[in-house]
């Protein structure tokens, strides 16, 4: 059974109504451990909600103070190094872009300490926002099984009326849907990806189907990749890779991309640190998932009885 560490971070916002979905759809068993770093104007109130809801799955809870001296020093030092206009520096200073990765960094440090003290090692790490609802759960004990993977590949093949499972289009769709079976059928935007390792590309050189599936499983279990929803809202990766990613919390802005005018935003910094460390990155977003970020409508995701609608989304940011 896989051991999963979840970095649960962000502002409390709609946590009263989103945390139940987090418990039911993310914390599938006792091997899913939560390391939370939460910002709240009413920590006493939210402390009870978080601890009572998450129970034994919660391994650490830390309250983030945006006026913390250590955080402010790191933020100002990083901003000073960035070649940006004052307008964009003010944006980064006052938005959640830099804070979210510092919270992730703190959650990772708590995770690392727990591993040492309890002599365990997690298999995968999942980052999850406190104001996010995941409708379709990710079962890490199923998604790497051969029968399951073969079934997903053939579903995609049939949907595309393809004569083979060994094509670039099918592999791209697979990497952006294998972790949630329903997602194969959703209407996604073209899934952008950053492939920096030869290991993934070499899968397409294989001509034998059984060998292709075996090597794909090997990549999924041992490859260097990040799977993300809407670039950085939710993402997961092998535990080992967090050794490289967590420092983004204290080095934000160090990762440049000359081809991107907005290299300094939260999404680009995650992509750029992955590229720097030779980590492939896969990402997809459906229309309903994207809408929740800036144009949230409760009725898009809930029916009149307050139940989640079964529609073309796996997650959404819950605004109220």
Domain count, the chain: 1
Report the pLDDT value the prediction gives residue 23, as an integer from 0 to 100.
98
Average pLDDT (261-272) is 97
Residue 94, domain member (yes or no): yes
Residue 224, domain member (yes or no): no
Residue 157, domain member (yes or no): no
Range of the domain at 108: 4-142+231-317
Report the pLDDT value the prediction gives residue 192, as an integer from 0 to 100.
80
Measured CA to CA, the distance from residue 1 to residue 123 in angstroms comes to: 10
pLDDT tens for 233-260 read 999 999 999 999 999 999 999 999 888 9
Measured CA to CA, the distance from residue 56 to residue 35 in angstroms comes to: 12
Q: Give the C-alpha distances (Å, rounded to integers) separating 25 from 41, 51, 75.
A: 27, 17, 34
Residue 302, domain member (yes or no): yes
Measured CA to CA, the distance from residue 290 to residue 144 in angstroms comes to: 27
Residue 23, domain member (yes or no): yes
Contact in structure between 288 and 313 (CB atoms under 8 Å): yes
What value, to the nearest 5°, has the Cα angle with vertex 73 and ends 98 and 63?
Answer: 60
Residue 48, domain member (yes or no): yes
- Assign residue 109 the CATH number of its domain: 3.90.550
Measured CA to CA, the distance from residue 301 to residue 234 in angstroms comes to: 18
Residue 278, domain member (yes or no): yes
Residue 155, domain member (yes or no): no
pLDDT tens for 112-169 read 999 999 999 999 999 999 999 999 999 999 999 999 999 999 999 999 999 999 999 9
Q: Give the C-alpha distances (Å, rounded to integers) separating 211 from 173, 218, 222.
A: 19, 10, 16
pLDDT tens for 191-201 read 788 999 999 99
Q: Computed from CA positions of residues 127, 133, 287, 191, in that sequence, does the dihedral angle turn out positive or negative?
A: positive
Largest CA distance in the chain: 60
3-state SS assignment for residue 41: coil
């Amino acid at each position: 059974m896989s051991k999963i560490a979840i970095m649960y971070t962000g502002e409390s916002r709609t946590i009263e109504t989103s945390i139940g979905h987090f418990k039911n759809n993310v914390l599938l068993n006792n091997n899913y451990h939560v390391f939370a770093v939460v910002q709240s104007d009413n920590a006493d109130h939210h402390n009870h909600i978080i601890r009572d809801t998450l129970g034994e799955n919660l391994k650490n809870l830390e309250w983030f103070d945006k006026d913390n001296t250590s955080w402010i020093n790191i933020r100002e030092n990083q901003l000073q190094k960035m070649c940006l206009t004052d307008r964009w520096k003010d944006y980064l200073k006052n938005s959640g872009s830099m804070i979210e990765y510092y919270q992730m960094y703190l959650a990772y440090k708590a995770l690392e300490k727990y591993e040492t003290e309890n002599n365990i090692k997690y298999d995968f790490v999942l980052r999850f926002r406190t104001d996010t609802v995941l409708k379709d759960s990710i079962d890490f004990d199923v998604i790497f099984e051969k029968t399951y993977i073969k079934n997903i590949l053939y579903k995609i093949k049939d949907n595309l009326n393809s004569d083979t499972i060994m094509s670039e289009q099918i592999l791209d769709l697979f990497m952006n849907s294998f972790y949630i079976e329903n997602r194969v059928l959703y209407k996604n935007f073209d899934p952008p990806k950053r492939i920096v390792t030869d290991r993934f590309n070499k899968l397409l050189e294989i001509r034998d189907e059984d060998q292709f599936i075996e090597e794909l499983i090997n990549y999924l279990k041992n490859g260097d990749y990040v799977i993300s929803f809407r670039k950085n809202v939710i993402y997961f990766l092998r535990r080992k890779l967090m050794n490289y990613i967590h420092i983004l919390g204290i080095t934000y802005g160090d990762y440049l991309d000359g081809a991107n005018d907005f290299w300094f935003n939260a999404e680009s910094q995650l992509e750029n640190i992955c590229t720097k460390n030779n980590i492939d990155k896969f990402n997809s977003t459906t229309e309903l998932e994207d809408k929740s970020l800036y144009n949230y409508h409760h009725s898009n995701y809930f029916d009149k009885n307050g139940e989640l609608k079964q529609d073309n989304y796996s997650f959404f940011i819950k605004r109220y």
